[in-house]
Structure 1
Amino acid sequence: MFKIRILLLFFTVGIVFSKLSSIEKKLFKSFSLSRAKKNLKKLTSIAHIAGSKNDKILVDWTVDQFKSYGLNDVTVEEYWPLINFPAKRSLTLLKPTHFEASLTEDVIDSDKTSRDQNAVPTFHGYGGSGDVTGKLIYVNYGSIDDFRQLKDLGVDFKGSICIVKYGGMFRGVKVRAAELAGCAGCIIYSDPFDDGFVKGKVYPEGPWRPPTSVQRGSVQYNHVYQGDALTPGKPALKNATRLPFDDANIPKIPSLPISYADAEPLLKALVGSGHKALDIGKEWQGGLKFDYFTGPGEATVRLNVNQDYKIRPIWNVIVKIEGEDTSKIVLAGNHRDAWVFGAVDPNSGTAALLETGKGLGDLLKTGWKPKRSIWLCSWDAEEYGLIGSTEFVENHIDELKEKGVTYINVDTSMGDNFASSATPNLSNLIRDVTKDVKHHKFPEFSVYDKWLESSKEKSPFGLVTPVGGLGAGSDFVPFLQHAGISSISLEFRGEYGVYHSNYDSFYWIKETQGFKSLITTAEIYSLTLLRLSDSEVVPMSPLHYWLELFKYSTDLVNILPIEVSIKKLLESVEVFKLNSLRFEDRLKSINDNKKRELNFQKEENINYFNTEQENFKLINEKLIFLERKFCLFKDGIGKRRKWYKHFIYAPGEWAGYDLEYYPSIREVLSIKGENRIQTMQYEVDKLAGIIKVAADYLGSS
C-alpha cells in the first residue's frame, strides 16, 4: 500500500501538464528556424574567445538582438578576471629523432572559417608557463589511478614530460595528476579511438576529428573553487582585492593540447621502451596503428610554453522581465564565449536562448506577464572556468539566495539525442516538458518517447528516462553548489568530433547534423522556463529528493569502514521521506480544493474568496528554499573546498565534471591516523543533521 501511495504521488506531479496551454502555443508560434540559423551564422562568423575584441562585438550584437525582440531591460555587466592567451608555444622531439610539432589545424577548403589557422592558437586556458626538457612517458588517460599503476610498476616520473589521452575526465585533473607525480610538463592529445577515425569518417567527410584537429580547453584546478582564479568567493570587479598569482588554483607546470597527427611521432618514439600498453590494460592501447608503450626510454622532448596572463574584461548580458511577484526570479542562461567559432559549443545553445527571448518578447506584447520574474543570461568566459556566471552569482549572492527559484542551463543544441541533468526535485518537470514537445527528426514521437527509447533506467516505479545529477562542467555550478538554487541542464547530443577545435563551425553543423534541433531545444528550454515562472505552484517534488537521498545513504555502506554508523543518517532520511509524503498529500488536497472552488464559482456565478492563497505561497516558499537547507555552512563542504556549499552534490575531486554525492564525507575517506573513524563519524552525523533540518523545514506549518 505504501509503495502504491508513493507511486501515485510520483506520477501525479508528472501529469499536471497533459497538453500545451494557449500561452505555451503562442510562445512556440514565435520560433523561427530561419532566424535561429541566421543568428547562429552571425555568432560563428568570427572567433570570439573570452576577453577579446570579437567577444565584445558579439556582446553588443546580442544586446541589440534582445532589444529588437521588445525586451528593453537589457544590461551588460563587466567583470575583470585573470585571463591568459598564449604568447609562445613549441613542442620538439629531441631524441631518438628530431620532430617539431606543427600545433596548427589544417585548412579545410570547403569550411571558410577554418582558413584562419591562427584565429585562436592551440593552448590551455589557465595553463602554466615553462621551458622544460625531459623523458617522455605515456600515461593512458592521465587519471590519478593511471599514474599510480605506472608508479607501482617502478616508473619514476620526476622531471619527465607525460603524454596522455583526452577523455575519461576533465583535462585539469590530468595536469594536476601529472604535477603531483613530479612531471615537469604535460601533453594532452586527442586519440582517434575516442573521437577520430576509429569512430567513423572524419571531417569534412564525416563528423569525427580529423588528424590535425586540437581540443583547446581550461586546465584550472576547479575542484577547489570555480570562477576567476584570483578572487574566489568574491566578484572580480575592476578594483577587487586579488590573491597573489602563486596562490591561484592553476597548474604550476606547463601543458599543451595537441592533435593525433602531432602525437603520433612522439608515441612511435616510445615503441619498445618501458611497458607495453596492452600488458597493463586494454584501455591503454589507443587507435593509432601501432603498439603503444609507456616509456621512459630514449625519447626526449622539449616543451616550451609562455602564457600571457593579464586582468582582462569580460561581459555578461542580462535580460530582465518583471513578473507579478518581483520577489521571485527564474533564471535561464547559456554561455556565449567559445574557444574558436563555437558553433555547437556553445552557440547552438545561444541560438535557442535568443529564440526564447523572441518568444517571451512576443508574449509581452499581448499583455501577458509572468507570475514570477524572469532573467535571461548570456554568460562570458565559461570556457576558462565558469567565470561569467560565477562572478555574477558572487556579485548578487544575497539577492539570488533571497529570490532565486531555479536556474536552467543549455550549452549545446545539436544532434538527435536528448539528455538532461537536474536536482532531483526537478527531474519529473523535465520529463513532463519533453512529453509535450515533438521530436524534430521523428515528429510522430515526443522528445520523451525517443529519450526513453534510447536511454532508460529502472526506478521503484518502472522504467523512466534517466535524469543525471549535476556535477560540474557548465554554468549551473555556481547557482546550485555555491548559492543553493535548484537547477536543470539540458542538451541535444550527436556524433561530435570537433569539440573545442577550429572546425566547430557553422559549416560543420550544416554538413553533418542539420539545424532542426535548434527549435526543439528552444521549445524545451522555454517551456521549462515558462512552467517554472508562470505556474501557480512551482513544479518541484521533494519526494524525488528523498529517493536519491535514500539511495546515496545506503550506498555509503560500501565505502565507509564498518565502525562508522549511518544510523542517524538513515533516520534523518526516513523523516525526510515522511515529511515529503505529508507535503505532497497537502499539495494534492489544496489542488483538489482549488478545483472544487473553481467549479463552485462557475456554478454560483460569484467571486468566491480563495482561502488557499496563503497556503500556495507557503508551499512555494518551501519548494524553492528546500535546496538552500543543504547549504547551511559558510565554510562549505571541507577545509580544502570551502567555495562549494552544497552537502549533497559537488564535482568529484579526481573526476572534474562527474557528480560526487555526499562530498563532505568523501573528503575524509582518505585520512589516516588514530582519529580517522571519529572524524568520519562526525561528518556522517553532521550530514544527518543537515538532512534533518531540511526534513523539519518541509514538515513545519
Structure 2
Amino acid sequence: MVYCAWDGEEPGLIGSTEWVEQHAEELQKKAVVYINSDENGRGYLEAGGSHALEPMMNEVARDVTDPETHISILDRRHSRELVNAADNGRLGKALLQKKGFSLGALGSGSDYSPFLQHLGIPCFNIGFGGESSGGEYHSIYDSYDDFRRFKDPSFQYGVTLARTAGRITLRMADATVLPFDFRAFFHTVSGYANELIGLVDQMRETTALTNQVLKENHYGYAADPTVQLAPPAAKAEVPFLSWSSLQNALTLLEAATTRLSDSLSHSHLTGSRADLVNQALYRAEQQLLSDNGLPRRPWYRHSIYAPGFYTGYGVKTLPGIREAIEQRNWKEAQEQIEVDAAVLRKFAGYLGSIAF
C-alpha cells in the first residue's frame, strides 16, 4: 500500500491526523510508504524523508530531467549546492566528491507528520522551489492565477513533480524486494549522535569561559557606565554525559545493517518469501517508536525525528536528547540517551532477525 497526498485535502481524507489515528492498525500493517507534497514551484528538487530510502531517492532523481536545464534534477540540485558552498572550502570540497544528495529530516507542517512521527511509517516530502515567489501560502492569494503568473507559468514543474512522485510510487509498488537500505539510516543517525556529543563539549567550553569572564568582572569593566545593564547570570557547569550506551547501540546497528545489506544483495527472493521479507522491511521504521513518546509530548513517538517543542515546524533530530541538552536539563538528557540507545538496540535486533 503506497499512499500519495497533495496539500489541500479536506479533513477526513488521507493525511489528516484524525484519519491516520482511526486507521492506525491497518496502516501499520499494510502501508509501505507515504509520499507527500505540499508546495511546488520553479527550481530545484527539495526532498526530505526516511533515510533508509535515501539511496532510492537518489536513483529516482538521477532519472528525472529538469525542464529548464535538461540535466537530471539530481545534477541540478548538486550544482546549486556547490554554488552555495563556494565560499566554504571544506564543504565545497566534500560536495565535489559527493555522488548524491542527503534527504532532509522531517519535522512537521504537513500531512506526513502523523504517518511518520506517530505510527512510524516511512515517508517522503517532495517538491520544487527556489526560483518562484512565496508568501501567499494558505491565503486568499493562493490561487490558480497566482500559480500561472508567478509560481510555475508553464506548469513544467508540476509535471516534473508528478514524474518524480510517480517513479517513487512505481519503484516501491513494483519492486521484488523493497529498496530500503538501512546503512544510509545508520550513517545519518551516527552523524546526529556525533553532532550532539560535539554540542555538549562546545557548551561546556563556552559555559566555563563565560563564567570566568563574569568572575573576573570583565562585563563590568567593558560596560558603558552611563547605561544601567546587568551582566548575564552565571550558568551551572556542563557535566560530562555518558554516551557509551548510545555508541554501543550504534555499533550493533552498523553491523546489523551491513549484514542485512549483504543478505539482500545475495538473495534471490520470490513469492511468499519475498512478501515476508518486504513486510519486515517496511515495518522496520515502527521499531524506532518509543513506548512513552517524547517528554511532555507523548503523541510524538519517533525517537529520531520530531518537530521542535519551541521551533514550530522545524525538525529536531534525536529530539529527546537534543532538546534536553538545549534546555540544560542534564538529568533528562542522560535519561533520553538511554531511551534512544534501547530503541536502537531493539532496531538492530529487528533487522538482524529478518529471515531469508
Per the shorter chain, which TM-score range?
A: 0.7 to 0.9
Residue among 127, 132, 140 paired with 1:495: 132
Asked if the contact 1:335–1:381 (Cα under 8 Å) also holds between the matched residues in 2, the reply is no
Residue among 652, 665, 673 paired with 2:321: 665
Q: 2:285 corresponds to which letter in structure 1? A: E
Q: Partner residue of 1:215?
A: none
Q: Partner residue of 2:49?
A: 422
Instruction: Quote the offset at 1:617 in angstroms.
Output: 3.0
Counterparts in 2 of 1:481 and 1:419: CA distance versus 1, 3 Å: same
State yes or no: 1:575 paired with 2:252: yes
Q: Partner residue of 1:685?
A: 338
Q: In percent, how many aligned pairs have the same letter?
A: 28
Q: Partner residue of 1:18?
A: none
Q: 1:661 corresponds to which letter in structure 2? A: T
Q: List aligned pairs for 1:349-428, cutoff 5 A.
A: 379-381=9-11, 389-428=16-55
Asked if the contact 1:542–1:623 (Cα under 8 Å) also holds between the matched residues in 2, the reply is no
Query: Deviation per CA, 1:25-69, whole angstroms, max 9, x where unpaired?
Result: xxxxxxxxxxxxxxxxxxxxxxxxxxxxxxxxxxxxxxxxxxxxx
Asked if the contact 2:74–2:100 (Cα under 8 Å) also holds between the matched residues in 1, the reply is no
CA distance in 1, matches of 2:310, 2:124: 23
Q: Partner residue of 1:606?
A: none
Counterparts in 2 of 1:685 and 1:395: CA distance versus 1, 3 Å: same
CA distance in 2, matches of 1:545, 1:460: 22
Q: Partner residue of 1:508?
A: 146
Q: List aligned pairs for 1:624-639, cutoff 5 A.
A: 624-633=282-291, 635-638=292-295
Counterparts in 2 of 1:453 and 1:671: CA distance versus 1, 3 Å: closer
CA distance in 2, matches of 1:483, 1:429: 22
CA distance in 2, matches of 1:557, 1:551: 10
CA distance in 2, matches of 1:330, 1:511: 33
CA distance in 1, matches of 2:250, 2:243: 11
What TM-score do the two structures reach when normalised by structure 1? Answer: 0.41
Instruction: Quote the offset at 1:517 in angstroms.
Output: 1.1
CA distance in 2, matches of 1:388, 1:566: 37
Counterparts in 2 of 1:692 and 1:333: CA distance versus 1, 3 Å: same
Q: Partner residue of 1:485?
A: 121
Counterparts in 2 of 1:395 and 1:466: CA distance versus 1, 3 Å: same
Query: Deviation per CA, 1:455-511, whole angstroms, max 9, x where unpaired?
Result: 267479724323211111111101000110010010011321342333333223333
What TM-score do the two structures reach when normalised by structure 2? Answer: 0.79
CA distance in 1, matches of 2:67, 2:11: 31
Query: Deviation per CA, 1:260-316, whole angstroms, max 9, x where unpaired?
Result: xxxxxxxxxxxxxxxxxxxxxxxxxxxxxxxxxxxxxxxxxxxxxxxxxxxxxxxxx
CA distance in 2, matches of 1:479, 1:333: 12
CA distance in 1, matches of 2:195, 2:148: 45
Query: Deviation per CA, 1:314-337, whole angstroms, max 9, x where unpaired?
Result: xxxxxxxxxxxxxxx11111122x
Counterparts in 2 of 1:650 and 1:555: CA distance versus 1, 3 Å: same
CA distance in 2, matches of 1:441, 1:582: 42
Residue among 147, 160, 163 paired with 1:523: 163
CA distance in 2, matches of 1:430, 1:418: 11
Greater relative contact order, per chain length (Cα 8 Å cut-off, separation 6+): 2
Counterparts in 2 of 1:615 and 1:381: CA distance versus 1, 3 Å: closer
Higher strand share: 1
Structure number, greater radius of gyration: 1
- Matched positions, count: 303
Query: Deviation per CA, 1:568-598, whole angstroms, max 9, x where unpaired?
Result: 10110111011101100001101xxx4xxxx
State yes or no: 1:585 paired with 2:265: no
Q: Partner residue of 1:697?
A: 350
SS of structure 2 residue aligned to 1:409? strand
Q: List aligned pairs for 1:513-552, cutoff 5 A.
A: 513-514=152-153, 515-552=155-192
Q: 2:133 corresponds to which letter in structure 1? A: Y
Counterparts in 2 of 1:391 and 1:681: CA distance versus 1, 3 Å: same
Q: Partner residue of 1:311?
A: none
Q: 1:462 corresponds to which letter in structure 2? A: K
Q: 2:66 corresponds to which letter in structure 1? A: H
SS of structure 2 residue aligned to 1:668? helix
CA distance in 2, matches of 1:549, 1:460: 23
Counterparts in 2 of 1:620 and 1:460: CA distance versus 1, 3 Å: farther
Query: Deviation per CA, 1:393-432, whole angstroms, max 9, x where unpaired?
Result: 1110111111111100011232122111111111122211
- Structure 2: state its 5+ residue gaps: 83-90, 201-237
Asked if the contact 1:563–1:677 (Cα under 8 Å) also holds between the matched residues in 2, the reply is no
Counterparts in 2 of 1:330 and 1:398: CA distance versus 1, 3 Å: same
Asked if the contact 1:455–1:465 (Cα under 8 Å) also holds between the matched residues in 2, the reply is no
- Structure 1: state its 5+ residue gaps: 1-328, 337-378, 595-610
Counterparts in 2 of 1:492 and 1:671: CA distance versus 1, 3 Å: closer
Q: Partner residue of 1:654?
A: 310
SS of structure 1 residue aligned to 2:167? helix
Asked if the contact 1:568–1:685 (Cα under 8 Å) also holds between the matched residues in 2, the reply is yes
Query: Deviation per CA, 1:128-176, whole angstroms, max 9, x where unpaired?
Result: xxxxxxxxxxxxxxxxxxxxxxxxxxxxxxxxxxxxxxxxxxxxxxxxx
Instruction: Quote the offset at 1:391 in angstroms.
Output: 1.1
Asked if the contact 1:455–1:466 (Cα under 8 Å) also holds between the matched residues in 2, the reply is no
SS of structure 1 residue aligned to 2:309? coil
CA distance in 2, matches of 1:470, 1:526: 21
SS of structure 2 residue aligned to 1:420? strand
Residue among 94, 111, 115 paired with 1:475: 111
State yes or no: 1:643 paired with 2:299: yes
SS of structure 2 residue aligned to 1:657? coil
State yes or no: 1:623 paired with 2:253: no
Counterparts in 2 of 1:402 and 1:459: CA distance versus 1, 3 Å: farther
Q: Partner residue of 1:46?
A: none
SS of structure 1 residue aligned to 2:38? strand
Residue among 180, 196, 209 paired with 1:556: 196
Asked if the contact 1:582–1:699 (Cα under 8 Å) also holds between the matched residues in 2, the reply is yes
Q: List aligned pairs for 1:122-271, cutoff 5 A.
A: none
Asked if the contact 2:115–2:123 (Cα under 8 Å) also holds between the matched residues in 1, the reply is yes
Higher helix share: 2
Counterparts in 2 of 1:671 and 1:498: CA distance versus 1, 3 Å: closer
Q: Partner residue of 1:433?
A: 60
SS of structure 2 residue aligned to 1:413? coil
The alignment's C-alpha RMSD in Å is: 2.4
